[in-house]
């Protein structure tokens, strides 16, 4: 009849797998733990005390946190590029965590422990995102 609705049936949105939700929660937790790490790094570097350098570092940290938040949201929504980018950042973070290159100023024990905890949380999250059922969430949908 003329009043009939014509069109493709609307598919119900897929539920985010529990593992992906937990992985994203770990990524958010790691991001929250990174805030005091950044504050500790700023406080232990005397050159950051200068006005322009401090402002520049705060802007850089704000941009990093904003991009990380965007990645977390996109991972939750099933965007594969965000999952791969997160994996690459975890690899880079692991390299710098265990890098033999010495900083000019040694980091505190708290800063080192927080960095290690963040890395462990991110590794678990990436593992969950790259193993089933996490991998199914990132397959292209029709």
Q: Per-residue pLDDT tens for 51-85?
A: 777 888 889 999 999 999 999 999 999 999 999 99
d(CA 133, CA 137): 7
- Do residues 16 and 86 lie in contact, with contact meaning Cβ atoms separated by under 8 Å? no
pLDDT at 64: 95
pLDDT at 108: 80
Q: Give residue 117's pLDDT band: very low, low, confident or very high (50, 70, 90).
A: very high
DSSP state of 98: S
Q: Per-residue pLDDT tens for 102-112?
A: 555 567 888 88
> Helices 109-129 and 80-97 meet at what angle, rounded to 10?
150
At 72, is the secondary structure helix, strand, or coil?
helix
DSSP state of 128: H
Whole-model pTM: value is 0.83
Q: Per-residue pLDDT tens for 1-32?
A: 577 777 766 665 678 999 999 999 999 999 99
pLDDT at 43: 81
Instruction: Record the tokens describing residue 77, joined without a space.
Output: 């929504």
pLDDT at 57: 84
Among 20, 41, 1, which residue's Cα sits nearest to residue 134?
A: 20
- Do residues 24 and 39 lie in contact, with contact meaning Cβ atoms separated by under 8 Å? no
pLDDT at 112: 86
Q: Give residue 139's pLDDT band: very low, low, confident or very high (50, 70, 90).
A: confident
């Amino acid at each position: 009849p003329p009043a009939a609705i014509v069109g493709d049936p609307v598919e119900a949105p897929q539920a985010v797998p529990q593992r992906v939700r937990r992985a994203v929660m770990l990524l958010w937790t790691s991001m929250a733990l990174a805030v005091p790490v950044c504050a500790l790094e700023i406080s232990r570097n005397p050159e950051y005390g200068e006005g322009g350098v401090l402002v520049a570092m705060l802007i850089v940290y704000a941009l990093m946190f904003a991009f990380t938040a965007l990645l977390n949201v996109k991972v939750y929504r099933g965007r594969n590029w965000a999952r791969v980018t997160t994996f690459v950042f975890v690899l880079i973070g692991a390299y710098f965590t265990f890098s033999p290159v010495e900083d000019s100023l040694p980091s505190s024990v708290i800063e080192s422990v927080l960095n290690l905890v963040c890395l462990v949380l991110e590794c678990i999250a990436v593992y969950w995102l790259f193993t089933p059922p996490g991998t199914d969430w990132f397959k292209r949908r029709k």
